[in-house]
Amino acid sequence: MTQTERTKTTDTAPAAAPEATSDSVHTNSTDAPSAQRVPTASAAFDALYTRHAPDLTRQAIVLTGHPRLSQEAVERSFQMAWQRWPDMAVDPDPAGRVRAMVHEYALSPWHRMRPGLRTAQRPTPQAPAPPPVAPAERALREAVLALPAPYRRVLLLHDGLGLELSETAAEVEASTPATAGRLMRARQALAERVPWLGLAGESPVRQREILRERLAGLARALPVAPPAAGAVRSGSERTVSRMTQGAFGLTALIAAATAFTLVHEAGTLPTHPEAGPPAASSSARPGAAAKAPRKQHGGQAHTQQAKAGGPAKRKVVWAGHLAPEAR
């Protein structure tokens, strides 16, 4: 290598270093904002709610037929999810967990005892009235609502949402054979009540395809207007605050009742010991103590005579006293 080439090499080598340095600085500067873009808990909850709340509301309406009850089920379930958000955030399927809570709340049997359930069917801004539907769609909706609640849920999860049979069984907390039996009986009931569906004589795969299309169309026709995610979070926090205040109030009431009971019992306790039976005086006459055993001894002798002589002798004696002697 000549002297000129050595000079060019030494002159050009330092020039590449600043480019590498600038590239590394640029890479670090682009990585730093990405590390700062981690969503907060409220942002992650809002994203989950905004994405799944409308579909879950429609699913609950298909299961219950009550728009307002369905809206209530979705709100309560997401409020519980926000209260348990540290666990929900690391759950592999938070949407599925919330869906299970929505379905369980909506299908809870205690809703039948609610006096305002029928009036709750009136449309509200959050749960508007469904639009008029064709007679065929109305017949399908009524046929689905006529099924038992476990059959409705299994049918919606497996055929409507496309879950596998094992996943459906895990969500409804039943065995796989029991879930398969519910699904089969639900399909048979729909085939009998809604014959125009064309379920009779079809294979299970084809029945699933038909029901998935029909149930999806039934759900899409339902208008929903869920509240904002911030309102749901605020409601959850208010619920927790009320529960905490109620727990403190109940604890204070129990403590006050316990203190009052203790004070009342302390006031009714006697201050002096009760007087017992009088003790025998040592200055009693000596004859009194001697008479007592003699009297007791005489009583015992009289009892022994009664046992030995019997009642007949006593009668004879008394008869002799009463009857005069014949002379």
Distance CA 58, CA 216 (A): 10
For residue 261, pLDDT over 90 is answered with: no
How many CB atoms within 10 Å of residue 125? 7
Dihedral, CA atoms, 253, 255, 258, 259, nearest 10 degrees?
Answer: -110
Residue-wise pLDDT tens digits, 40-68:
999 999 999 999 999 999 999 999 988 88
Residue-wise pLDDT tens digits, 120-143:
456 566 556 666 677 888 899 999
Distance CA 275, CA 273 (A): 6
For residue 311, pLDDT over 90 is answered with: no
CA 283 vs CA 279, 288, 289, 294: distances in Å = 12, 11, 11, 20
Q: What is the pLDDT of residue 263?
A: 75
Average pLDDT score over the chain: 75
Residue-wise pLDDT tens digits, 178-225:
999 999 999 999 999 999 989 988 999 999 999 999 998 888 888 888
What CATH class has 131-221?
mainly alpha
Q: What is the pLDDT of residue 166?
A: 95
> In which region does residue 173 sit, left (phi positive, over 0), alpha (psi from -120 to 50) or beta (all else)?
left
The residue extents of the domains of the chain are 40-127+223-246, 131-221
For residue 14, pLDDT over 90 is answered with: no
